[in-house]
Each structure stands twice: as C-alpha cells, then as structure tokens.
Amino acid sequence: MAIFKDTGHLFRFAALFVVGTTSIFVLRAIVTPKSFGQYGHYRGAALKDLADRPVKYAGHQACEVCHTDIVTTKTAGKHAGVNCEACHGPLAKHADDPSNTPAKLDTAVLCVKCHAASAAKPKGFPQVQADDHSGGLACDTCHKPHDPAIAAGGAK
Amino acid sequence: MNVSRRYFMILVPAAAVAWESVLAGTPEDSPNYKMQDHWWGMLIDTPKCIGCGNCVRACEAENDVPEGFFRTWVERYHVTDENMENPEVISPEGGKHGFPAAKEDEGKYFFVPKMCNHCADSPCTQVCPVGATFVSPDGVVLIDQSYCLGCAYCVQACPYGCRYINPEKHSAEKCTLCYHRITKGLTTACCENCPTGARQLVDLKNPKDPIHAFLKTHSVQVLKPQMATGAKAFYNELDGSVR
C-alpha cells in the first residue's frame, strides 16, 4: 500500500498551506471596506463622503428667492449673466441664516478685477484705465453695479 | 400545507430574486440624484475668458485649496511668431489675482483656463496601486481621501498636471468637479462665479443640455487629443499653440 514512505511531512506542509491560504482570505475579508467593489475597484462609500461636503457658494437660485428686486434690475442690464456670488463672494451661510449679513463691497477694488484695461482681453469686453476714467472715485459713484450702463438709465 | 413540485419550482426562484433585492439594499441616499443619469464634463469657451481669476478664487474658497496649489488655474498665452512654436505663457499665482495689463503689442493674446479634464479613460486612475482614485459612474474623476496613500503616482501620470499632494494631509487632491455641488443640483463653484460664461458644466447624458448643439456647431477640441484620454473638458476655439 505504502507507495511513498515518510509522507507525514507532506501532510504537515499541506496543512500549513491550507491554514495560510485561509488566513489570507479571512484577513482580506476583514480589512477590505464593505463597499469596495460596489461600482468598481474602489470604495463605493467614497462617493457619498465626497457628495456630503457642505457648499460655500449658495448658488444664484438661492439668492433669487429673496432678492427679487435685484433680479429685476439685474436681468434688464449688462450684468444679467453675472451671478450674485461672482462679486459678493461665498454666501451659503447668509442663505442659511439671513441675519448673517455679508460685508459691503468696495467697488473701487472690485470692478477693476474684470474691467481693468488690458490688450490681452477680448476686444468687445468693456475695459477702462481706472485712474483716467474715474480719477480714483469709486465706480458706484456713477454706475449702479446691478445695471451698470449709464446710457440705459443706470446713472445714479 | 401541501406544496406541489410545480409550485416549489416557481417559489424557489421567486424567493431567490426577492433575497437578491434585499441584499442589494437601498442604492443611494440622495433620492433626487441618480448617478446613472449623468455623464459630466465641462465646456470652456476660451474667447469669452477675460482672465479675471474669479474661477480660481471661487475654487479655492469652495474646496479649501492650500496656498500655492491649484485645482483650476488660468494661463495667458502671448503668441508672436507665425509657427506658434514659442508662446509666452504666464500664470502668476494661477491667475488668482488676475494678470498684469498687456500693452498693445505684436502677436495675439488669449486666456486658457485649465482644470482636470475628467477623462473617461484617465491615465491617473489606472496607475493608482490601492484603488483610491477612480472614475465615478457619472463620469467624474475622484479621490477617496481616506484611502489615498500619497504615493503621487497619479500626480506624475496626469498629462495635464491637474493633481497635487496636499502638504498637510499628504494625500493627492484634485478638482472634484464640485461633486458635493453637482449632486445637489448646483453648478460648480468656478462655473457659478465665471462672470462671462466662459465655463459651463455640461451633462453629456442629458439630451436637453445645450452642449450637444454646441459641439455640432462650433470648433471644439480637447487638450492633448493624441493621448486618447477621453478628456471631457471641451475647449471652444482653442489656439494651436496651446499644449
């Protein structure tokens, strides 16, 4: 019957192999996050982690719910396509709690961020040499920021 | 209760299907957002960009981007030779505070906003050794911050230079296409704050999205098309000197 002598060491080795392999699978099952492989070779729950972050810019839709008068002024003017927070900054906190009012803007520094003259800008875009144009006066001395064109009745 | 063999054969598969749906559980927590209905990208209308840097500032504020690093930035090209070989490209602080005034000069100037191209076949996700970065089912290239080792393979693999290692967290970061905003029905911070509409979030799976008509009627291209990355940042009227 005994074709091979001294087979004991083979069985011991086989047992060790089985235990090793099993422990790899067990450890892998413990260590791998539950949602890994849900959509692909990554943790599916990561999508929810990323999506759950709070926003800082509320979005113009939130502003327009309350500030309907500004919407009317703005849609008639040249700044119709400029969203509120592009100038006013991130205001999700204000949208959540209207008593948390934002600081007033200084048009002398704000407007030139877009409208300072430069040959690099598209030719049709309205640009000014601020010092020559206003002599250091704040832009909202003459222009209404929400409807800036003076010819269109925008002057104060 | 007598169950015939016939009914048993019907009941067992039915029970199996029911058990399968129990195991699958509820697919997503935000009920109004279905990942499979979207395939996000970005349209960048280069002739409209005025280089104001509003997008860079908005991105920084929305996503807590560390000082000196950028998830989006604006480059200004100045091309003077006919061969378009040696454009002078500047991007002071990513264009965050705008650009120095250019005087009327020979050649042409234009601005090119850059960001993650959210490639469908992205080189950066292919090299991640741990499965920390991936293309989501709705077409956004994302990073699992709790899984990233910070090995920076992906930073090297991105042909557009859109990734960086956060100096404090020591994990890779990049544009998430404001995933926390687009899943809530908002647009990205950069699109929301672009005053000229030079950047527009597009949903290629939405048949009503104006991008479909735009792509058919305009000269649109992606960056480095020869890399076959399946980039989804579409540049309108991009100059040939842009690399």
3-state secondary structure B135-192: ECCCCCEEECCCCCCCCCHHHHHCCCCCCEECCCCCCEECCCCCHHHHCCCCCCHHHH
In-domain check, residue B95: yes
Q: Which residue has the tokens 């080792």?
A: B149
Q: How confident is the model at residue A86 (pLDDT cuts 50, 70, 90)?
A: very high
Residue B35 has pLDDT above 70, yes or no: yes
> Mean pLDDT, to the nearest integer, of B33-41?
94
Residue B53 has pLDDT above 70, yes or no: yes
Buried b (16+ CB within 10 A) or exposed e, B90-125: ebeebbbebbeebeeeeeebbbbbbbbbbbeebbbb
Q: How many domains does chain B have?
A: 1
> φ, ψ for residue B203 (rounded to 5)?
-115, 105
- Name which of B28, B50, B137 is nearest A121 (Cβ-Cβ): B50
In-domain check, residue B94: yes
> Mean pLDDT, to the nearest integer, of B33-54?
95
Specify the length of chain A in residues: 156
Task: Of A17-31, B44-58, B101-115, give the lowest mean pLDDT range.
Answer: B101-115
Averaged pLDDT of chain B: 92
Q: Which domain holds residue B113?
A: 38-236
> φ, ψ for residue B216 (rounded to 5)?
-80, -20
Q: What residues of B are in contact with residue A54 (Cβ under 8 Å)?
A: 180
Q: What is the pLDDT of residues B144-190, one digit of tens each?
A: 999 999 999 999 999 999 999 999 999 999 999 999 999 999 999 99
Q: What is the pLDDT of residues B113-148, one digit of tens each?
A: 999 999 999 999 999 999 999 999 999 999 999 999
Q: Which of B145, B193, B196, B236 to mutate to test the interface with A (most CBs of A within 10 A)?
A: B193
Q: How confident is the model at residue B9 (pLDDT cuts 50, 70, 90)?
A: confident
For B79, name the nearest residue in chain A, comparing CA atoms only. Answer: A120
Q: Where are the alpha helices (DSSP H) in chain A?
A: 8-31, 45-51, 60-66, 68-76, 84-88, 92-96, 107-110, 112-115, 130-134
> CB burial class (10 A; 0-12, 13-18, 19+) of residue B199?
buried
For B103, name the nearest residue in chain A, comparing CA atoms only. Answer: A119
Q: What residues of B are in contact with residue A146 (Cβ under 8 Å)?
A: none
d(CA B118, CA B42): 9
Instruction: Say what percent of chain B tops pLDDT 70.
Output: 95
DSSP B66: P
Contact of B173 with chain A, judged by CB distance below 8 Å, is answered with no
Residue-range domain boundaries for chain A:
37-102, 104-156
Q: What is the pLDDT of residue B4?
A: 83
In-domain check, residue B164: yes
Q: What is the CATH number of the domain that holds B49?
A: 3.30.70.20
Q: Which of B46, B52, B91 to mutate to test the interface with A (most CBs of A within 10 A)?
A: B52
In-domain check, residue B25: no
In-domain check, residue B55: yes
Q: Which amino acid is at B209?
A: D
Virtual torsion, Cα B97, B48, A83, B43, nearest 10 deg: -100
Residue A9: CB atoms within 10 A of its CB come to 8
d(CA B204, CA B37): 10
Residue A3 has pLDDT above 90, yes or no: no
> Mean pLDDT, to the nearest integer, of B97-123?
92
Q: What is the pLDDT of residues A26-72, one digit of tens each?
A: 999 999 999 999 999 999 999 999 999 999 999 999 999 999 999 99
Q: How confident is the model at residue B12 (pLDDT cuts 50, 70, 90)?
A: confident
Instruction: Say what percent of chain B tops pLDDT 90.
Output: 80
Q: What is the pLDDT of residue A1?
A: 57
Residue A151 has pLDDT above 70, yes or no: no
Q: How confident is the model at residue B1 (pLDDT cuts 50, 70, 90)?
A: low
Residue A154 has pLDDT above 50, yes or no: no
Q: How confident is the model at residue B197 (pLDDT cuts 50, 70, 90)?
A: very high
Q: Which amino acid is at B23?
A: L
Specify the length of chain B in residues: 243
Both tokens of residue A94? 């204000």
